[in-house]
């Protein structure tokens, strides 16, 4: 058995769920299974969705969502059989997965045992496959069959995840924590290689981090897909209320924010598609994915002045983008590259290149906004490259930051916590940054940091308070610090994922 803004300027003039099911990776031609047993059996049944979110020669990543149409269950077990003998689960998340022959069983983690009527069990896995990767044709929930039809299998994509798959073992693949998400496991599920690969593969990770906590981030999965080739069409498609994936083909000049609606994926085509002069604004929205976009030179006077601006919104994944301006203008000529403000919550920022800017990323816009921000602003920053960012990588007030496996090159200050913000900072690498971490200055109240495994590159920290945030409420794997620079350099930015 294999177990498997309305812009609110910063007062400081010198500083500032489960894995998404279906198509958050917005890859072309993924196989999707939608099955339902019909309303006549709803009292004892379920519906299921299965999607392959990335494929490569010999392997794939898939996501599963099963909805309970029957009575509430104190625990859940999802089962299916792979159609091909070469299909094997090698690692998983948000469920304990085991495999015997072709039969796979996924059991609830300890913190997600109760499944109410209408509730959803969401989990994902990485696997190996032979020459074909057919979609399973049936699922069960607690032994009750979900029946229906399947979509057609797709041609494997040419990319693969950053973490190599391992040979299936006879022990659980991703053992879940035995306590609720406030105390997840501190030990990674697997140990990456101790030396960097000779050619680090580009990263194609699924949604993870805080974007998977207390909900799910699927973006436009399950909706229509549209390709836009003009700014006008992008503006129309991005603000449309229907669930959809918007493929951006081309680079468009603009001077006002592009508003993004809920349940939307915006993904660039190729490595150069995006915006120049304006950015994307997410306000009062939910469940948004922004990937593979190149955004540059957003003037402070244009809209919110940020390449990506997120406020009063939740469950957002910002992944594999390139955000930049220049450092030859004054501090306030541009504003931020990526600002997360006004009680925004459950945001993951991963595999982005953020560069040549002064005030790069701000979480929490003002010392006076405690009433709105306290208990919110949960953010994950991982595998990002910050290059020539003078400050704020990020700076955070009031919220909770998990920063791991990031690579910082050149700057005055790096991660800055204040106004009681808590940060867990792990296995990051700095080079040429004067103060990699600080918890004081620029605000009346200091912040908190717990840090481990970091390479500060000769910089000197200014840490005044050690915090209580020691374990993130989700599963993750730390790359060895010695590997971070090469892995991030190879894997972050545009052109690494397929629209």
Catalytic residue positions? 392
Question: What residues have CB less than 8 Å from 276, skipping those under 6 apart?
Answer: 251, 252, 253, 254, 295, 296, 297
Q: Are 284 and 313 in contact (CB under 8 A)?
A: yes
User: CA nearest 350: which of 193, 202, 151?
Assistant: 202
Among the listed residues 258, 327, 321, 270, the one whose alpha carbon sits nearest the alpha carbon of residue 292:
321
495: alpha, beta or left? (left if phi > 0; alpha if psi -120 to 50): left
Phi, psi of 110 (to 5 degrees): -60, -30
Cα gap 356→81, rounded to integer Å: 50
Q: Residue 195: count other Cβ atoms within 10 Å of its Cβ.
A: 10
Find out whether the peptide bond into 394 is cis, omega within 30 degrees of 0: yes
How far apart (Å, rounded) are the C-alpha atoms in residues 31 and 22?
A: 9
Structure tokens at 79: 């089962």
| Widest CA span in the chain | 67
Q: Residue 292 corresponds to which tokens in the numbers above?
A: 């593979």
**Does residue 481 sit in helix, strand or coil?**
helix
Residue pair 497/207 in contact by the 8 Å Cβ criterion: no
The residue behind tokens 């129309």 is 236
């Amino acid at each position: 058995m294999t177990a498997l803004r309305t812009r609110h300027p910063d007062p400081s003039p010198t500083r500032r769920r489960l894995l998404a099911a279906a198509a958050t990776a917005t890859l072309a031609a993924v196989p999707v299974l939608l099955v339902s047993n019909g309303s006549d059996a709803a009292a004892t049944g379920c519906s299921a969705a299965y999607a392959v979110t990335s494929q490569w020669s010999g392997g794939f990543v898939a996501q599963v969502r099963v909805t309970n149409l029957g009575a509430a269950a104190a625990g859940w077990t999802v089962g299916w059989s792979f159609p091909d003998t070469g299909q094997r689960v090698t690692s998983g998340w948000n469920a304990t997965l085991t495999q015997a022959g072709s039969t796979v069983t996924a059991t609830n983690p300890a913190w997600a045992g109760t499944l109410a009527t209408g509730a959803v069990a969401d989990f994902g896995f990485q696997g190996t496959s032979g020459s074909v990767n057919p979609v399973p044709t049936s699922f069960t929930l607690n032994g009750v069959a979900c029946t229906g039809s399947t979509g057609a299998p797709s041609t494997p994509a040419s990319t693969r995840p950053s973490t190599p798959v391992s040979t299936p073992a006879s022990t659980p693949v991703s053992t879940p924590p035995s306590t609720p998400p406030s105390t997840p496991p501190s030990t990674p599920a697997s140990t990456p290689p101790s030396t960097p690969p000779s050619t680090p593969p580009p990263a194609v990770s699924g949604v993870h981090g805080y974007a998977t906590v207390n909900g799910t981030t699927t973006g436009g999965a399950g909706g229509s897909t549209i390709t836009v080739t003009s700014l006008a069409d992008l503006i129309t498609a991005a603000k449309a209320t229907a669930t959809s994936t918007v493929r951006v083909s081309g680079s468009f000049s603009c001077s006002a924010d592009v508003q993004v609606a809920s349940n939307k994926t915006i993904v660039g085509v190729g490595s150069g598609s995006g915006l120049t002069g304006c950015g994307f604004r997410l306000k009062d929205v939910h469940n948004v994915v922004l990937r593979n976009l190149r955004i540059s030179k957003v003037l402070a006077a244009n809209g919110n002045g940020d390449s990506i601006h997120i406020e009063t919104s939740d469950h957002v994944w910002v992944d594999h983008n390139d955000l930049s301006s220049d450092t030859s203008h004054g501090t306030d000529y541009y504003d931020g590259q990526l600002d997360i403000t006004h009680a925004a919550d459950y945001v993951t920022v991963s595999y982005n290149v953020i560069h040549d800017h002064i005030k790069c990323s701000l979480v929490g816009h003002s010392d006076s906004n405690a009433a709105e921000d306290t208990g919110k602003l949960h953010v994950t920053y991982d595998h990002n490259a910050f290059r020539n960012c003078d400050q704020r990588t990020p700076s955070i007030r009031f919220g909770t930051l998990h920063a791991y496996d990031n690579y910082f090159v050149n700057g005055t200050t790096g991660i800055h916590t204040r106004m009681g913000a808590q940060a867990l900072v792990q296995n990051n690498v700095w080079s040429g940054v004067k103060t990699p971490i600080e918890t004081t200055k620029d605000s009346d109240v200091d912040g908190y940091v717990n840090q481990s495994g970091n390479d500060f590159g000769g910089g000197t920290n200014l840490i005044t308070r050690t915090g209580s945030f020691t374990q993130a409420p989700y599963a993750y794997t730390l790359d060895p610090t010695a590997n971070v620079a090469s892995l991030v350099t190879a894997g972050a930015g545009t052109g690494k994922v397929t629209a």
